[in-house]
Amino acid sequence: MKKNKKKIICCVAGRSGGHIIPCLTIAQRMLRSQDDSIMFFSTSTELDAEILKNYPTIQQQASLNMMNVPYKNLWKFPLFLGQFIVSFFKTFVTLIHHRPERILSTGGYVALPVCFAAKLLFIPIDIYELNVIPGKATKLLAHIASNIFICFSETASYFSQKTILTRYPIRFSESTTQTTSEAPFDTYSSTKKTILILGGSQGSHFINQQVCQLVSLYGPTIQIIHQTGTEHVDLLKKFYADLGIQSEVFAYQQNLAPYYAIADVVICRSGAGTLFETLFFKKPCITIPLETYTTNHQLENAQALQKDYPELFSVIRQKELQQDPLQLFKMVSHYLG
């Protein structure tokens, strides 16, 4: 099979902006000319489609109907296996036709059929593990990867293979750390303290609840920028309006740079992308890791950055905040002076 003269980088990621955006950032930096392009394998979710539509460098995009491995519902495993087989053959044919230079994966089960097909076609595979604790798919794919890149030094201990420590692929440039003369939203006031709340690309119901309690104590003395997720946009817009609080509320925002730049403090979950972007803008960050029965990877992310940058990062465990709701208010007050 003859390779294309132009360079094609193939990305695979899905179900989260924290997977998709860094994968695209890496790929875009590898393009040599305007003739080069990116092809992208994602899941078939609306979130993936919403994020990817903003990237004109993606010339081929394929959606794979891949569920996560149903560990707690083993009766669904045949469905997962069927989806994997269909996705594998769809990927295999696409890779033969376009013959990309290499595969980039930032994790997720959608990467399994793509990377296995690439291995059979002798296409190099670069795996990027963005969290301290690798995901199950990444651990599995590490055995067939050409290179394994990690963003935390602690991650190396989870792999028997050789790893390469690299910087987190921040999507912003140094020029974006400066505020512009243009107000980032209509009611913005340069004289008020600004709290930026980021629940991740899918939002956080728990953080939304905690913030409601927090701003009720402050009232209109502050202003809020809030990424809520799709479910609570209208509810929170009304909530802030009723309290007379100047705010900018949205479900998801592709370009957060103007909001990072004006924030006095950031409240967020502990996805690696959000933490490293907050660090890039050198903003004080109160992070509340999402902890579940299957993973504590966000807690490990938060504690690793708190250890390296104690002046910027404060970690509040969700169970601690449930026991003492005023803990968040005290910490925000500390940062706001």
Has residue 235 got a pLDDT over 80? yes
- Are residue 127 and residue 228 in the same domain, yes or no? no
* Residues 127 and 219 reside in one and the same domain: no
Q: What is the pTM of this model?
A: 0.87
Closest CA to 95 of 213, 22, 180, 10: 10
For 63, residues 6+ apart whose C-beta sits below 8 A from its C-beta are 41, 42, 43, 44, 48, 49
Q: 40 lies in a domain?
A: yes
Segment among 43-47, 271-275, 280-284 with least mean pLDDT = 43-47
Residues 91 and 139 in one domain: yes
Determine the 3-state secondary structure of 85 from DSSP: helix
In order of 27, 105, 164, 240, 272, the CA distances from 10 in angstroms are 8, 9, 20, 43, 22
Are 90 and 219 in a shared domain? Answer: no
Residue 2 within any structural domain of the chain: no
Domain span at 291: 174-336
Q: What is the CATH number of the domain that holds 50?
A: 3.40.50.2000
At residue 2 the predicted structure's pLDDT band, cuts being 50, 70 and 90, is very low
Residue 27 · residue 56 · CB < 8 Å:
no
Number of domains comprising the chain: 2
Mean pLDDT, all residues of the chain: 89
Lowest mean pLDDT across 26-30, 195-199, 252-256: 252-256
Residues 200 and 157 in one domain: no
Mark whether 197 and 312 lie in a shared domain: yes
Among residues 172, 157, 127, the alpha carbon closest in space to that of 274 is found at: 172
Residue with tokens 């076609």: 121
Check whether residue 160 and residue 16 sit in a common domain.
yes
Same domain, 187 and 331: yes
Kindly report the CA angle at 255 between 253 and 259, in degrees rounded to 5? 90
318 and 223 assigned to the same domain:
yes
